[in-house]
Chain A
Amino acid sequence: MAERPSDGAAPPEPGPTSLDLSRRDIVQRLVKIGAASLAMALGSGASLQPLLAGAEEVAPRKGRRRRYGMVIDTRRCVGCDACVAACKAENKTPPGVSYTIVLEQGLGERPDDRPLFMTKPCFHCEKPPCVPVCPVGATFKRSQDGIVVVDYDRCIGCRYCIVACPYQARFSDFGDNYPAVEENTPWASVPSPEYNQFRVRKEGKSPEGNVRKCTFCLHLQDENGEYDKASGRWPACAKTCTGKAIHFGDLNDPDSEVSRLLKERQAIRLKEELGTEPNVYYLL
């Protein structure tokens, strides 16, 4: 179900004050918040369906291809690793698998060096080199929103995609477990919401033996493929970022926060020379 009660309970977060919200954005937000509160009132179920459908008629985004991406402000990142923890808590990843990491570079020898923290999720490239190499087509870029996903039941675990990724955004699940999540503990049966598949970790069963990666928390999308920051349906790392360094949104929407940041600030992408066209930008 798209509306998770716990998320709906979160108070709507005010938008960034430095950015002007367009009237359409505000209307949309109101519609969403309204839908979310109604959902709380009615509980989840079929009765929600017509209401959401009605909301979508108001929203102009219907049927359009989205291009989800991130704009990460390195000046705002303090290197607290909260995104790593949030991602772990959200996706229940085992040791050795982390969909996002925070790279740190301290002061170097060069006079122009400065300390740099950089959170690095999967870049969900426009031309992902990991996708064509998969021998069984288990990893692919979703046509509706550009998110690069892995079909755990199709993947044979050859790890060719890890080899091909220039950004080390993919991790192999070797079946290692945190001591607290070993068998017969209450935490062992907590499912991961990934891909809305709610798999409980079982030895030898997928995703063990598979390659895993950041999904932009796509399990938090609603039926129409929309996220909603106000109700907490937002990628865990961006939602939790203490310095508000991780901005997430639809790069195809010229009014989205990420698009506007790209217009206003100088952004770079990593390893442009490889032609992968990442959808994650860094502001310097």
Chain B
Amino acid sequence: MLSSRTLKAGFWTVGLILIATGSWAWIDRFLNGDRNANYGSLVPWGLWVAAYIYFIGLSAGSFLVSSLVYVFNIKRFESIGRLALYSAVVTLVLALLSISADLGHPFRAWHVLVYPNFRSPMAWMIWLYSAYFILLTLELWFVLRHDLVVGSRRPGWRGRIYRILVFGSNDDSAATRESDRQVVRILASIGVPLAVMFHGGVGSLFGVVASRPGWHGGLFPILFLVSALVSGGALLVLVSAIFQDGLRRNREVVLDLARLVLALLAVDVLLQISETLVGFYGNEPARVQNLRLIYAGPYWWVFWFWQLALGTLVPILLLASPWTRRNPLAAAVACGLIAIGFLAVRLNIVIPGLADEQVHGIVQAYNSARISTDYVPSVMEFTFTAGIIGIGLLLFGIGEWFLPRSSEEPAQEEVARVSA
């Protein structure tokens, strides 16, 4: 088995390579706007929007899992509480990076805060996740505050960074620790309905559009929430298996959480089967066309190989079969596959939902690459997203170094020495 050191080195290397690749795309996007992106006026949202709802789902899911610790006080998951919050912050940052590039005028994003139209689900979503971002950062800080204060007294660069992060706080008394816990509990309790609302809001952003029969319906916001829980939970299993002594420390948690993910995945699959069967049976042409595009369109393999085989069937086998279900490594691999598979779920929502003519014959009527139902992300779009994934890997790497673990446990250096 790979030593954790090799694994971490691999993480950093891959992250840096992806960022190097992405930086070319970021410069291109900055200089040339949307010109080198392949989305158009028929498929106006593409890879970046899919990446956005993917990351934001991971964030909402991780956050809701953290509420098991900070709201419902389930001791079993205590050791991964802060990792869950940290994952929620990181993936939210990635989501915002993905979507900001998608805007035709990214530097006008503040318009939503100044000129909001509250009849728009998108305006609601942006307001809610702004609030969620603030709450999430505050909550993470209060969770870490005590350890940051203790850490800030240490010498060296780590202590120096903690001294910045404590923002002047220097109180490590038990009473303050208790009041921190209270604050965290209150914040987390507000956070749960907030996360449900904002991610349900992302789902309704799609669900309310009556002109897109593949999305339109009351199930969509619910499907988004369940998908968020599955993908966020799965990512968390993977992250807790890798970081901060991973499996050595989190063995039981990984197994427990993986079981929870399996149950949620079953619910998610059930909802998707329901959507499919009802859609096909109803035989409404546009809805059927949407389903056809998912299962037999130009991206049929995204569903059959990526979403179904890799992201659903293999993980279910690994998590449920009697030979592997008690193996934390298998659980981590299975959840890693689920987390990757959900990017396919997101792609299958966005692209087939749009890649259909709303008025028959428009593609022939106006000859332009922008007026086309065939959408293939451009190299710029791919590398842009790869770079964002690289930032994610890097942020997790940084978190691994700087995130103080619960001070009841041995300090990081000691653990590092032991494991090395």
Q: List residues of A whose CB falls within 8 A of some B CB.
A: 84, 95-98, 101-105, 120, 129, 132-138, 154-160, 162-168, 170-176, 203-204, 206, 208-211, 270-271, 274
What residues of A have a CB within 8 angstroms of the CB of B115 in the complex? Answer: 136-138, 154
Beta-carbon contacts of B68-82 to A below 8 Å, as 1s and 0s? Answer: 000000000000000
Chain A, residue nearest B206 (CB): A163
**A162, B109: Cβ atoms under 8 Å?**
no
Some 13 contacts from A to B, beta carbons below 8 A apart, are A96-B368, A105-B361, A136-B112, A136-B115, A158-B103, A159-B45, A162-B41, A163-B44, A171-B371, A172-B370, A206-B105, A210-B105, A271-B211
- Contact flags B350-376 to A (C-beta < 8 A → 1, else 0): 000010011111101110111100000
Q: How many A-B residue pairs have CB under 8 A?
A: 151
What is the minimal beta-carbon distance from A128 to any residue of chain B, in angstroms?
11
The 10 A-B residue pairs with the shortest CB-CB distance, nearest first, are A157-B104, A209-B104, A96-B370, A166-B211, A159-B44, A137-B117, A135-B123, A135-B122, A132-B119, A103-B361
Flag whether B159 is at the interface (Cβ < 8 A).
Answer: no
Taking a contact as CB atoms under 8 Å apart, the answer to whether B354 and A163 are in contact is yes
A136 touches B116 (CB 8 A): yes
Q: Can you name the residue of chain B whose Cβ is closest to the Cβ of A207?
A: B104
Q: Which chain B residues (189-222) contact chain A, with CB distance < 8 Å?
A: 205, 208-212
Whether A155 contacts B360 in the complex (CB less than 8 A), given A95-B370, A96-B368, A129-B211, comes out as no
Q: Which residues of B contact A164 (CB under 8 A)?
A: 209, 211
Min Cβ gap B99→A in Å is 9
Q: Is the CB of B210 within 8 A of A274?
A: yes
A155 touches B366 (CB 8 A): no
B residues near A173, Cβ cutoff 8 Å: 104
Q: Are A101 and B362 in contact (CB under 8 A)?
A: yes
Residues of B within 8 A of A135 (CB): 112, 116-117, 120, 122-123, 126
Residue from the list B35, B119, B122, B359 in contact with A167, Cβ < 8 A: B359
Q: Which of A96, A120, A133, A155 contacts B120 (CB 8 A)?
A: A133
Query: Is B37 in contact with chain A by the CB < 8 A criterion?
Result: yes
Q: Which residues of B contact A (CB under 8 A)?
A: 32-35, 37, 40-42, 44-45, 102-105, 108-109, 111-112, 115-117, 119-123, 126, 205, 208-212, 354, 357-362, 364-366, 368-371
* Alpha-carbon separation in the docked complex, A23 to B83 (Å): 80
| A98 CA / B40 CA spacing, docked (Å) | 13
Chain B hits for A270, CB < 8 A: 359
Distance of B115 from chain A, by nearest CB (Å): 5
Q: Which residue of A lies closest to B361 (CB)?
A: A103
The B interface is mostly helix, strand or loop, or mixed, namely loop
Known contacts A101-B366, A158-B103; A132/B117 CB under 8 A: yes
| C-alpha spacing A167/B111, complex, angstroms | 27
Please give the distance in Å from A131's CB to the nearest CB on chain B. 8
> A184 to B210, alpha carbons, bound, how many Å?
45
Q: Are B112 and A156 in contact (CB under 8 A)?
A: yes
User: Cα distance A134–B208 when bound, in Å?
Assistant: 13
Q: What residues of B have a CB within 8 angstroms of the CB of A158 in the complex? A: 102-104, 122
Residue pair A274, B211 in contact (C-beta under 8 Å)? yes
Residues of A within 8 A of B357 (CB): 168
Q: Given the interface contacts A95-B368, A134-B120, A270-B359, does A154 sit within 8 Å of B354 by beta carbon?
A: no
Contact indicator A175/B32 (Cβ below 8 Å): yes
B104–A210 CB distance below 8 A: yes
> How far, in angstroms, from A155 to B45 measured CA to CA in the complex?
16
CA distance A159 to B39 in the complex (A): 11
Q: Report the minimum CB–CB distance from B383 to chain A (whole Å).
A: 18
- The listed residue (A132, A154, A166) touching B358 by CB distance below 8 A is A166
Contacting residue for A176 out of B42, B116, B121, B370, CB 8 A: B370
* Distance of B350 from chain A, by nearest CB (Å): 10
Residues of A near B205 (CB, < 8 A) are 160
Contact A133 B44 (CB under 8 A): no
Q: A97, A104, A105, A172: which contacts B44 (Cβ < 8 A)?
A: A172
* Residues from chain A with Cβ under 8 Å of B44 in the complex: 159, 162-163, 172
List residues of chain A with CB within 8 A of the CB of B121. Answer: 133
Are B120 and A209 in contact, with the CB atoms below 8 A?
no
Chain A residue nearest in CB terms to B368: A96
A81 to chain B: closest residue by CB: B365
User: With A157-B103, A174-B37, A208-B33 given, can you name 11 additional A-B contacts, CB distance below 8 Å?
Assistant: A156-B105, A156-B109, A156-B111, A157-B104, A164-B209, A175-B32, A175-B33, A175-B35, A203-B33, A204-B33, A211-B104
